[in-house]
Structure 1
Amino acid sequence: MRKTAAPARRVTIVDVARHANVSTTAVSKVLRNAYGASPEMQAKVRQAMADLGYRPHAAARGMRGQTYSIGVMLPTIRNPFFADVLDGITELLRDAGYQVLIGPGCNGQAEEARVTETMIDHSMDGLILVAPVSSRQHLDRVAGLVPTVTVGRHGRSASYDSVADDDITGARLVVDHLVELGHRRIAHIDHLENDPDRLAEMPNAVRADGYRQAMRAHRLDEYIDIASTSYTQEGGYLGAQQLLSRLHRPTAIFAGADIVAMGALQAIAEAGLAVPDDVAVAGYDNTMFAAFAPISLTSVDQGGRQMGRNSARLILERIADRTRPATHMKLTPTLAPRRTTVTPTP
């Protein structure tokens, strides 16, 4: 009868210490980034860990107070903007010795609650919640249990830190740009918001409000036209179909996100119309696809990677000091004009 191979033994800090010819105390200091470990000592210990394939035991570290893991909740992995935010988070946390673990929120309160509670149960040192749709009460409760930072969510709380874009300014940049090109019938595709208690805090609602304010500032109140669908490619497609079916169709569409603009471009093409000659299109997020030459989408750059880095820095500061006052950062967006917006044909 063939013998079953014994499972490989997990490498311990004792093994690392022997391999590096240092004490286990020195290895522990390096793992904790503690004072007293010289650069030479750190290099020697980290090389030994790499040689042996050593991985710190998360459960044991959690019992000692830290797991050096950060949970990141993403509402969806299909929106390329969230990849930019995630890049910024992982870049900064990697240098700080933290591991990032991702959980999908699926754009729903119940699923977000399951994800955040699971991350808390696994003793993660902090949570970064990207565009959360949960109630303020739930966010405050989570932040009371573990250091928390929200990304993209407006509103201020004393319980958690936040990083958001100035979406009012971003929407104004789009409307100003289109008006300068000669457009008047400028429509907007929004994400339908069903929860009135959340309305003032969600980025889609703030962008829609910024669109209305900008249109009124240009005395274009009569042309305000919003199709409320979803911040998805399908939502952009359906929203554009609605707008193009109007008796007086818009000459320009401001989509609330690049992913929405992609769906709008598809609907416009299927209607036999040309971009930008018949309908100009602008997005929001300035994702890598917006700059892709065959698409060349005008878009608002809200600095997704920088938002991620800022949120990572804030979570580290919150972990280091749970009692400090909450920080609420707001980034200033810029417009990246491209081929999808030009002066309309007379």
Structure 2
Amino acid sequence: MTNIKKVSELAGVSTATVSRTLKSPERVSEQTRAKVMQAVKQAGYRPNWMATSVKTGKSNAIVVLVPNLVNPFFMRIIEGIEQAAQEKGYCVLLGDTQGLQAREHEYASMVLTNRADGLIQLDHSFPFSDNDADLAATIPMVSVCERIEGDRKYPFIELDNHAAGRALAHHLIGFGHKHFGIIAGQRRSQIHHDRLTGIMSVLQGEGIDFKEDMLVGSSYSIETGIEGARELLSRNPRPSAIFCFNDDIAIGAMFEIKSQGLKIPDDISVTGFDNVKVSAYMDPPLTTIDQPAYEMGRNAVEVLVQQINRLPLARSRVIMPFHLLERGSTGPLKI
């Protein structure tokens, strides 16, 4: 069996440095970490994490709660989480909650029973039950994309969704559009509020009234896009542009628009959000907001491991950059 001494020889460092890299990678330089991890891979070394957990009281596992595992945007975040976790010696336990409170409570309890060292939440809900809320106060936890609702303060990794909403609104208004529809996702979440207020602030500045019947939908699904587009297309006047709060919604909306014999963007412009891979291959390609999902996942692990190791956080909010990708699903208003 390959041992730690062989790894140290291949990396050109001491066995103590190898051990430190595997247990607390944040305590060594990036260059040393890269050398050691390359040597680990070359030697085929497998650390005995079970023995380590007995000595340290850590499981070397983290729980990731995902509201919908088939969502391609979440999968990109998980890819970043998995890569960063492996580099730091952690395994990842995925909990596909389907937005069900009981499932969240069950997976979250793994941290309370020492089966995991920390938790990453990809939804906006507080994942612990009322009975466990006090115990959970000191649990290492970070949220990605969403902010955990309520007064509890946990670090989070997010986009500037307000600014992204404004960018989409400016984009469509620049094409001359004045009649809009919005197909939303989860309306209780912070990202819904931020995206909506971003759009509304631009409309207000342009003297365009926001009316409640402009807003439909309440989940991030293709079906929501189909139903939402059908509802908006029945309005008089019909919107000339539709904001969709994720790409799945936009895919459904585009399907329904075409089913009614309308052309995109000649009759109606459509925007998405997330830049899932298929969005670039739609007909026409979807104008959307690109979120750095992989990097968001990596950042979440960095912050979580700092919490696990009781290290002070430089900041509790990490704001990631976005890019507006202008593609063929949006165009000038036809008069």
**Partner AA of 2:200 in structure 1:** R
Q: What is the TM-score normalised by the length of structure 2? A: 0.82
Aligned partner of 1:217 in structure 2 is 205
Q: Deviations over 1:107-127 (max 9, x none)?
A: 233322222113543531221
Q: How far 1:31 moved relative to its partner?
A: 4.7
Deviation at 1:153, TM superposition (A): 2.0
Q: Distance in 1 between matches of 2:163 and 2:268?
A: 23
1:243 equivalent in alignment to 2:232: yes
Superposed CA deviations along residues 171-217 of structure 1, whole A, max 9, x for unmatched, are: 11111100000111111011253xxxxx4x52123222222222212
Q: Would you say the 8 A contact 1:104–1:115 is kept in 2?
A: no
Q: 2: distance between equivalents of 1:132 and 1:147? A: 16
1:32 aligns with 2:26: no
**What is the CA-CA distance between 1:228 and the residue it aligns to?**
2.6
Q: Deviations over 1:234-264 (max 9, x none)?
A: 1111111111111221111100001111111
* 1:159 positional shift: 4.5
2:178 pairs, out of 184, 187, 192, with: 184
Alignment of 1:50-65 (within 5 A): 50=44, 54=46, 56-58=48-50, 61=53, 64-65=56-57
Q: What residue identity is the alignment partner of 1:260?
A: I
Of 247, 265, 275, the residue aligned with 1:258 is: 247
1:128 aligns with 2:120: yes
CA distance in 2, matches of 1:245, 1:283: 21
RMSD in angstroms over aligned alpha carbons? Answer: 3.5
Contact 1:229 1:239 in 2 (8 A): no
Distance change (3 Å), C-alpha of 1:332 and 1:121: same
Match of 1:107 in 2: 99
Letter in 1 for 2:119: L
Residue 164 of structure 2 corresponds to 170
* Aligned-partner Cα distance in 1 for 2:105–2:79: 24
> Which AA in structure 2 matches 1:205?
H
**What is the identity percentage for the equivalent residue pairs of Structure 1 and Structure 2?**
26
- Cα distance, 1:250–1:71 mapped onto 2, change above 3 Å: same
Give the letter aligned to residue 169 of structure 1.
Answer: A
Quote the offset at 1:88 in angstroms.
1.9
Deviations along 1:266-315, one digit per CA (max 9) or x if unpaired, are 11121111111111100011121222264510001222122112212111
Question: Which deviations, in whole Å up to 9, do the C-alpha atoms of 1:139-186 show, x marking residues without a partner?
Answer: 965752421101122379675211111111111111110000011111
Displacement after TM superposition at 1:342 (Å): 0.6
CA contact (8 A) 1:116 1:142 kept: no
| Match in the other structure for 1:150 | 143
Partner residue, 1:88: 80
Q: What does residue 77 of structure 1 align with? A: 69
Find the residue that maps to 1:290 and give its secondary structure: helix
Which residue identity does 2:160 align to in structure 1?
A: D
Q: Measure the CA separation in 1 of the matches of 2:41 and 2:175.
A: 59
State whether residues 306 and 312 of structure 2, in contact with CA within 8 Å, keep that contact through their aligned partners in structure 1. no
Change (3 A) 1:158 1:342: same
Taking a change above 3 Å as real, the CA distance of residues 223 and 63 of structure 1, as seen in their structure-2 partners, is same
1:233 aligns with 2:222: yes
SS of corresponding position for 1:177? helix
How many pairs does the alignment contain?
324
Q: Which runs of 5+ in 1 are unaligned?
A: 1-10, 194-198
Structure number with bigger Rg: 1
- Residue aligning to 1:271: 260
> How far off is 1:57 after superposition?
4.5
Alpha-carbon distance between aligned partners in 2 of 1:32 and 1:161, rounded to the nearest angstrom: 23
